[in-house]
Amino acid sequence: MDTLQHLQTEARNPASDRLDELTSLEFVELMGREDAAVPAAVVAIKVAIAQAIEVVADRLGRGGRLIYCGAGTSGRLGVLDASECPPTFQTNPDQVVGLIAGGPGAMFKAVEGAEDSPRLGEIDLEAVHLTANDVVCGIATSGRTPYVIGAVRYARKLGAFTLGLVCTPDSELEKEVDLCLAPVVGPEVLTGSTRLKAGTATKLVLNTLTTGAMVRLGKTFGNLMVDLKATNTKLVARANRIVRTVTEADAATAEKLLTQCSGEVKTAIVAHIAGVDGFQARVKLAECGGRIKPALAAFGRSQVTAARTAERPSRSDLVLGIDGGGSNTVCLLAKRDSGEVIGRGLSGPSNIQSVGVSTALDALNQGIDRAFQGASLPRAKAAAICLGLAGVDRQEGLDVIHGWAARENVADSVIVSNDATLLLAAGTPDGWGLAVIAGTGSIAFVRKPTGEIGRCGGWGHLLGDEGSAYRIALAALRAACRSFDGIGPKTALIDALVKKMSLPAAPDFIPAVYRGPWDRAAIAGLAPLVLELAGTDAIAAEIVRTEATDLARTAAGAVTANGLSKTGLPVALAGGLLTNSEPFREQFLAGLRAEGVQPGPVKLVTEPAAGAVVLARRK
């Protein structure tokens, strides 16, 4: 019986059914049209690839390895990707490993029958001494290769994290791994020849996976390949060029730096900018996990030279407003007199507590750069900047931000505020009242007319965050588990969550949450599903009601504890739950009234950075 006939990778492509009758030009055009669909198939699974990058970076950062297992073309592509990591990122050759069914000789000549043995997959992993700290990525475009299936089963038995890379939907391999990457490219031009579109998709995914993980591990500086190993004339020239690009030194100086620093690009960069010798630079880099920016920050230097920042012109007619947190940073560039926003910049997270000082400051710089770019203006020193930043409540955090602003010549006047002040500036008539945030986490702030600020909640996902997306989704998962065990009421949450999380069944919640990609942020992303089901499912409705009530109790607590009037209180609401879900918002406001707080004007704030602009203009 033909067990392959149902596979999409084995199907006939109607576009090429006259393949043997085409001219060479027609053939090339056909191949081009078919191959053009491959990148879109890879982008379609971007969330899963991003989750895989995070897992691989985490395991590599803790001393684990990434091990590819495949047969034929799939195995060769895994070996190829692994072999390119040491010269590109100066990784240990044992850090990313490629295993191919039939052993190294199968790279050049097919070893018949090797892929048909699950036991050979186990044996190859035993030979490299697989541990629970490793990641095993099984590559099989058909999703059924026995060698790969055997390898991932053995890996899961040892507790290693398992990835699958396939090019067909609903494959056998998908059921065997913690996370499956499945770019579906459709039938090949030459029926069954998966070295074509499937091979291209596989290479694209592997490129993205290892490059993304290495970037997360600090192997790059911006988009420069600073951890390369200069093993030939081309790479020696590239190393010199990278040093010159970052340090603005000439070629001779860069060559001398590299010689003094044993050819290490990162060491040469840090030594030159920080004004230290190669040994000191190397030690500091080691202390900072090999990352250039934290090493420079530890020496009190920025990667942007003083000469370049000093050249910035002053624009007394412009102000900057920044809203920065643990997810992203928004920067608005506005006219000082009218408040008109003329440029907007979006960058990564800038919470110094969660992402570190260097990453946070880079995000602030990128946000400002992009805001000026959006206004088609060169970056300049503004009249004032207001930064509403998470993670800078203590004096040491404020010192970091003010020090950065001074070094970068950001603005004449610098205000560092908190989330509440921004929301109230953007969402209340006079900048005082109650501000409530309910997104991934939650917190309630108040500000008196006299300027004093108070808060309630904000204890984080382990101790608080009532009424947050994470709390709602976690409660739903718990209810689904109790229902599955028969000790809780029946609920549609089980099937809905299983489907949304792309899991085979409810018991797979365990590996997905404890060993898989479903971290706090990903779990919080399930909250909209629970809100949707609340209209028809009693358990979902009870969860939403409970969390909205708890959030209202927290908000009322902030009002009461700080002595604000409970009647006609201006209220500003922010965060995805409150701004995007009218039913949840109405339940929250009803709960607030039940606690004795009668809101006055209520405004939804979707752009807190607008409040920062208001405060910068006032300054």
pLDDT averaged per 10 residues in sequence order, the chain, 619 residues = 53 73 83 84 89 91 92 91 86 90 84 79 92 94 91 93 91 92 84 80 92 86 73 80 80 85 86 84 84 80 48 85 85 94 90 76 90 92 90 73 84 84 83 87 86 83 87 94 93 92 88 78 88 93 94 92 87 88 92 90 87 89
Q: Which whole-number Å values give the CA distances from 538 to 168, 475, 544, 580, in the listed order? A: 38, 13, 10, 22
Residues annotated as part of the active site: 84, 115
DSSP state of 562: T
Tell me how crowded residue 355 is: count the other CB atoms within 10 A of its CB.
Answer: 16
Residue-level pLDDT at 8? 60
Residue-level pLDDT at 311? 56
Is the C-alpha dihedral spanning 192, 196, 197, 199 positive or negative? Answer: positive
Residue-level pLDDT at 9? 60
Strands 329-335 and 161-165: unpaired
CA distance 248 to 250: 7
Domains in the chain and their CATH numbers? 8-216 (3.40.50.10490), 233-303 (1.10.8.1080), 314-417 (3.30.420.40), 469-609 (3.30.420.40)
Residue-level pLDDT at 6? 52
Nearest Cα residue to 185 out of 342, 10, 63, 414: 10
User: What share of residues in the chain are helix, strand, coil (percent, to 5)?
Assistant: 50, 15, 35
Residue-level pLDDT at 393? 66
Exposed (0-12), middle (13-18) or buried (19+): which is 71, by Cβ within 10 Å? buried
What would the DSSP string read from start to end of 463-529? Answer: T--TTSHHHHHHHHHHHHHHHHHTSS---THHHHHHHHTT-SSGGGHHHHHHTSS--HHHHHTTHHH
Residue-level pLDDT at 230? 66
What would the DSSP string read from start to end of 383-406? Answer: EEEEEEETT--SHHHHHHHHHHHH
CA distance 334 to 211: 37
Question: Which are the contacts of 482, defined by CB distance < 8 A and separation ≥ 6?
Answer: 488
Q: How many residues does the chain have?
A: 619
Q: Which whole-number Å values give the CA distances from 602 to 229, 359, 433, 441, in the listed order? A: 58, 35, 10, 21
The model's pLDDT over 365-383, given as tens digits with 9 standing for 90+, comes to: 899 999 999 999 988 999 9
Q: Assign 440 to helix, strand or coil.
A: coil
- Which residue is associated with the tokens 């044992």? 94
CA distance 527 to 468: 9
> What's the token pair of residue 580?
């995007």
